[in-house]
Amino acid sequence: MATIKRVKRKDGVSYKINFVHPITKKWASKTVRCSYKDALKIKADIEKDAAFGKIGKSNPDYRRTFYSQLKFKYLKDSKRNKSIKTNEREETVLATFTDFLAEDMDISKISTETIEQFKDLRLNEGKSPATVSIELRVLKTMFNRGIDWGLISINPVKGVQLPKHDKISVRYLTIREVERLLTVIETDGNRPFLRIVKAYLHTGARRNELLEPLFTWDNVDFEEKKVMINGQKGQSKRFLPMNQTLFNLFTEMKEENVETPFSFNPDFITKKIAKYYKSAKIKGANTHSLRKTFGSLLIQNKTADIYTVSKLLGHTSVKTTEKYYVDLIDDNYKIALDGLDNII
């Protein structure tokens, strides 16, 4: 008969399961970091293994790690390093996978086939390929951490193909739509938000690239009239010359002793811009549309070639730029060739 004892430590609560070793007939123990409910399940499994003599040097199952333990450890570690929104999403995904497993199990028994079955089930339930891809990525990250911690040697998600899905096309704004958007924000009297929208339109920066901690006053060089954009997603920094609009905008803010150029929460920006789009009667646009508008205006007005636009946007390859602006580039090719009619 095994016993279970709650152990409280500085870094959290764990449970110590004491049991009689079937071979040595001496007391042994296993400490687990999980919920009390899961600890009871592990205790029951240990009692079952002990009854059948499965615990011993030749079969060290009593040292095995259960999915509930890995999940508990991963979420605890995640809370220290990730945003609240990301934590909530991961908790939801891992709870869904828990329901799929039906019962707690040794993580070494979770195979690629198990993950494939989970993927198929979620797709058959009507979940979008994009949603299932996110779920698989969360699982893959968790199992990778399990490898880092020495709990498993193989990631069961590795080799599982993500379901194919069409990426949502991000649209750009026309000049008239830009004018309507700026007018709506200005009429609302939201000066700080008007400034950051203008900054996005004149830098082509991604949403987080103009926010702390990636962007502070240290990124603005008034003497050289340049701004430094620290790329996200592991991308390198890039330096952009400030046009007069951007220079005046930052100068004005500096003179007003604004502590941080743009102290907005990323999610707030997404929600607020959606509200202003609606007021300006602009459909199908999002925060990233401001970045795409920057690139599209440069290409449409022939103020920069595709290579320059690629560098300004911080794309790692010009092929990425061509993919996003293929329609505009094709139009420019036609205009260029039509222009030969007046020359030759």
- How many whole angstroms separate alpha carbon 26 and alpha carbon 174? 78
Number of domains comprising the chain: 3
What value does the mean pLDDT of the chain take? Answer: 83
Residues 237 and 231 sit within 8 Å (Cβ to Cβ):
yes
Identify the top-confidence range among 48-52, 226-230, 307-311.
Answer: 226-230
Query: Does a structural domain hold residue 204?
Result: yes
Query: Is 70 exceeded by the pLDDT of residue 56?
Result: no
In angstroms, the Cα distances linking 300 to 263, 305, 336 are 32, 10, 12
Contact in structure between 215 and 237 (CB atoms under 8 Å) = no
Q: Is residue 277 part of a domain?
A: yes
Examine the domain organization and report whether 192 and 334 are in the same domain.
yes
196 and 249 share a domain?
yes
List the single range of 159-168, 194-203, 265-274 with lowest mean pLDDT: 159-168
Q: What is the pLDDT of residue 2?
A: 78
Is the same domain home to 332 and 207? yes
Residue 86 confidence (pLDDT)? 83
The neighbouring-strand residues paired with 4 are 17
Position 233 confidence tier, pLDDT thresholds 50, 70, 90: low
Question: Does position 117 have pLDDT exceeding 70, yes or no?
Answer: yes
pLDDT of 61 reads 42
Q: Are 217 and 259 in contact (CB under 8 A)?
A: no
Residues 257-315 have pLDDT tens digits of 999 999 999 989 999 999 999 999 999 999 999 999 999 888 888 778 888 988 999 88
Locate all alpha helices (DSSP H) within 111-214, ordered by sequence.
Answer: 112-124, 129-148, 175-187, 191-203
CB 18 within 8 A of CB 8: no
The boundaries of the domain holding residue 308 are: 175-339
Residue 199 resides in a domain: yes
Q: Establish if 170 belongs to a structural domain.
A: no
**Three-state secondary structure call for residue 31:** strand
**Residue 332: pLDDT over 70:** no
pLDDT (0 to 100) of residue 93: 92
Say whether both 281 and 205 belong to one domain: yes
What integer pLDDT is reported at residue 165 of this predicted model?
66
pLDDT at residue 249, rounded to an integer: 96
User: What pLDDT score does 50 carry?
Assistant: 64
140 and 222 share a domain? no
Q: Are residues 206 and 299 in the same domain?
A: yes
Same domain, 50 and 116: no
Residues 54 and 99 in one domain: no
pLDDT of residue 146: 87
Last residue of a domain, one of 63, 79, 94: 63
Structure-model confidence comparison of residues 129 and 324, the more confident one: 129
**Pairwise pLDDT comparison (190 vs 107), residue with the higher score:** 190
Q: Which of 109, 129, 148 is the last residue of a domain?
A: 148
pLDDT the model gives residue 58: 38
Distance of CA 6 to the CA centre of its chain: 36
Q: Is residue 157 part of a domain?
A: no
Query: Is 164 contained in some domain?
Result: no
pTM for the whole thing?
0.54
* Mean pLDDT within 146-175: 83
Which range, 12-26, 55-69, 147-161, is most confident?
Answer: 147-161
Rounded to an integer, what distance in angstroms lies between the CA atom of residue 129 and that of residue 312?
Answer: 32
Average pLDDT over residues 138-161: 89
Q: Torsion angle of alpha carbons 72, 76, 82, 85, nearest 10°?
A: 60
In a domain, 155, yes or no: no
Closest by CA to 250, choosing from 202, 303, 179, is 202
| Beta carbons within 8 Å of 48's beta carbon, 6+ residues apart | none
The arithmetic mean of pLDDT across residues 240-255, rounded, is 95
Per cent of the chain over pLDDT 90 is 42
Q: Is residue 168 part of a domain?
A: no
| Cis amide prior to 213 (ω within 30 degrees) | yes
